[in-house]
Amino acid sequence: MARNAEYLSPEIVNWGVEDSGPYAGSPSFRVKVRRGLPDFLNSVNLKYVKLGYGYLLSHGIYCVAAPVLLATFGTQIWKLTWTTSFLDFTNFLNLIALLVFFCSVLYVYLDLTPRATYLVDFACYRPPNELKISKEEFTDLAKRSGKFSDAAIEFQQRVLKNSGLGDETYLPRIIFQPDHKITLRDGREEASMLMFGAVDNLLAATRIRPEDIRILIVNCGVLNPTPSLSAMIINHYKLSYKIQSFNLGGMGCAAGVTAIDLAKDLLSAYPGSYALVVSIEATTFTWYAGRELDMLLPNCFFRMGSAAILLSNHLTDRWRSKYELKQLVRTHKAMDSRSFKSIHLKEDAEGKKGLSVSKDVIEVGGHALKANITTLGPLVLPVSEQFHFFTSLLFKKKSKPYIPDYKRAFEHVCILATSKKVLDEIQKNLDLTNEYMEASRRTLERFGNTSSSSVWYELAYLEANKKIKRGDRIWQIALGSGFKCNSAVWKALRNVKQQKRNPWNDAED
């Protein structure tokens, strides 16, 4: 335990306090910080605890108060109906007034109560086999491209070795072609293959007509052409002229959950509609062929992938839907400059564009994660866990705050498959078992970091292995530039069977 605390804590080293040894020298001191996730056991920010209970009260108070009012007035109406003589004109008017008020309260209750958001189905795209690339082939193609120095090749080879990626991830071969400069056409072609592949699978599975889709949201971090990616989908599938289209760009790996949140709000504005969410990342535009080590990291982790999700809030769609959205919490830390600069698109000294990943990214990501789960806790944790938590806060001078056991709130966890190191840190801090981490680690190994679509490949893995049972709760955690941490909690509406178009079905053509 002491070793872990030292790893995650600042250390003040005094020089000149000894005549010999490692701390000998002139009198001075320095602070050493080993970057990593913050220790969740040492501090709890009450601001986020308050925020979580604020969400709980704002969503729950009306749902509790309105039925009580309805029951009270219903009782009064029943009494007047059976005890009042209708020949008494005054009492008859009182009865009519109560009926009108009862109907008004009922209408407002039904109108203001948020409609449930159902996930009808989703589909992940598996690129063709000719785009598969092993780690050894990656290094060989990078060398033959002539775009990297020996130091850059060695660095990427070393990162890949400990990345957690396997030898069957996907990359567009065009990025390795010597003397080829990536063009907008390359990005559009990759995006078209990913988007249309995922949407085709989804439409085939749900048998929804494209013209029935009212809301379309597409998110992609780096590639943002004109016309937009959402316009490309509208044109390809000839969607309705009534379509409400949105294109989210520059929001990183957490944008997929952000798109789900936007779709939920839009479904409230357009009830009884279908919302299509498409999450992709164009690796041709995240690829960097230069010398800066911090900009070479995305080359080692980002791989091709996409997901298409169909949502509805129509009650009649509940019977055919797989999941219901129970909670969604978004945390943004861009007000902190270190978080804001941790991942950003820039040009190096030679004018080559790429994503820069700072050494602080794991630490700032940990702070965002801690804030997010602290806010989420009151919404999902059992009462017993919250009781222990508040008891520890009351006596915090005597002991550390009690960190709730999130395993009691969820049956499955899908953490964005960023890298092996990040998954290790999150598993350790949340005290998750290997079973909870299985979907994330297997997705990282098989498909790599597919950005915002990663959590959907993980859910597809759970479905392919028949692990989703009716009533199961699934926690999706997405982290991305900004810095952002988003959580979505789904509840399974039925036992989910393995589907023909699941990307984990290796027998599929």
Q: What are the residue numbers of the active site?
A: 253, 332, 412, 449
Measure the CA–CA gap between 229 and 247, rounded to whole angstroms: 7
Question: d(Cα 222, Cα 451) in Å, to the nearest integer?
Answer: 11
Question: Measuring CA to CA, which residue among 352, 188, 414 is closest to residue 280?
Answer: 188
In sequence order, the β-bridge partners of residue 317 are none
Query: For residues 267 and 273, is the Cβ–Cβ distance under 8 A?
Result: yes
Structural contact between residues 159 and 300, judged by C-beta atoms closer than 8 angstroms: yes
* The length of the chain, given as a count of residues: 509
Give 407-442 as a 3 state SS string: HHCCCEEEECCCCHHHHHHHHHHHCCCHHHHHHHHH
Dihedral sign, Cα of residue 104, residue 105, residue 111, residue 115: negative
Furthest C-alpha separation in the chain: 107
Distances, alpha carbon 348 to alpha carbons 32, 218, 293, 354, in Å: 29, 29, 11, 8
Say which DSSP state 113 is in: S
State the DSSP code for 212: G
CA 466, CA 456: separation in Å to the nearest integer? 15
Report yes or no: 116 and 196 within 8 Å, Cβ to Cβ. Answer: no
CA–CA separation, 208 vs 104, rounded Å?
A: 36
Q: Which residues pair with 310 in a beta bridge?
A: 121, 276
What residues have CB less than 8 Å from 253, skipping those under 6 apart? 221, 281, 416, 418, 449, 451, 452, 454, 478, 479, 480, 481
Are the C-beta atoms of 206 and 121 separated by less than 8 Å?
yes
Q: Quick one: residue 342, left, alpha or beta (phi over 0 = left, psi -120 to 50 = alpha)?
A: alpha
Three-state SS annotation for 301-333? HECCCEEEEEEECCHHHHHHCCEEEEEEEEEEC
DSSP 122-165: EEEE---GGGEE-HHHHHHHHHHHT-S-HHHHHHHHHHHHTS--
User: Other CB atoms closer than 10 Å to residue 55's CB: what's the count?
Assistant: 16
Of 223, 413, 230, 197, the C-alpha closest to 307 is: 197
